[in-house]
Structure formats: C-alpha cells, structure tokens
C-alpha cells in the first residue's frame, strides 16, 4: 500500500479555515485519495475523496496537487465539532481495504 505522511497534530481557532496537508509521493495513477475523520469514541466518518481534480462537498474541499504527490483537506470554517483525528488514505481502483496511518489530531480552540 502506498503510504501517506501527515502532521501528528494541528490547532485551529474556531470559525477559521483549516488546511490539513497530506504527502503521498509514491501515489500511483490508479490511487484515489480518501479522507476520513474519527471523532472521540466514534467510528471513522467518510469526509471526501478524489482522483485528480479538486472536489467539494458539504463537509469539506479537497485540493489535489497537479503532480498528485500531495493533497490538502480544507475545512472552510472550523467548529468545535470538527475536533477529531483526520486520516488521509490512498486506495487503488478495485481495492478492498483502507490503510489508516496515525492521522492528524485537529484541536479547535474556542
């Protein structure tokens, strides 16, 4: 499985945008970039995924570098409920498992 590198932790002020980076220099052409988050005492929650183009949904935006070796999850206005561990995961087309690293623990400061 292609690996991802994320900072261990980040802090953000409430109602400010948050940019969570992820490096994946060994990504292959068929790898999708997935983001999940895990709130305390809950199972992981799907956030967003993309292949080459930037993606937006109601939860977040995903910005993918042109060479696909890095990506950034963007939370447009952080709330206290966004405090969680965020995982950046690569999954190739047709793959049947997700390889979770240790993720980035996001702390939102009121």
Is there binding between residue 8 and other proteins (CB under 8 A)? no
User: How far apart are the C-alpha atoms of 30 and 21, rounded to whole Å?
Assistant: 21
What are residue 91's DSSP bridge partners? 32
Give which of 56, 53, 50 is closest to 66, Cα–Cα.
53
DSSP states of 61-97: EEEE-TTSSEEEEEESS--GGG-EEEEEEEEETT---
The residue (of 65 and 98) whose beta carbon lies closer to other proteins is 98
| 93 is an interface residue for other proteins by CB under 8 A | yes
Binds other proteins by CB under 8 A, chosen from 10, 23, 59, 100:
100
Choose between 70 and 87: whose C-beta lies nearer to other proteins: 87
Q: Which of residues 21-80 bind other proteins (CB under 8 A)?
A: 34, 36, 42-46, 49
Where do contacts with other proteins occur on this chain (CB under 8 A)? 34, 36, 42-46, 49, 85, 87, 91, 93-103
């Amino acid at each position: 499985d292609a690996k991802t590198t994320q900072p261990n932790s980040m802090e953000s002020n409430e109602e400010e945008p948050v940019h969570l980076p992820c490096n994946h220099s060994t990504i292959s052409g068929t790898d999708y970039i997935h983001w999940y988050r895990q709130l305390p005492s809950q199972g992981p929650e799907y956030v967003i995924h993309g292949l080459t183009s930037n993606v937006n949904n109601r939860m977040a935006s995903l910005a993918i570098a042109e060479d696909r070796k890095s990506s950034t999850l963007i939370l447009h206005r952080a709330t206290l409920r966004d405090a969680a561990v965020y995982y950046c995961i690569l999954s190739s087309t047709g793959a049947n498992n997700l390889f979770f690293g240790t993720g980035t623990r996001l702390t939102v400061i009121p």
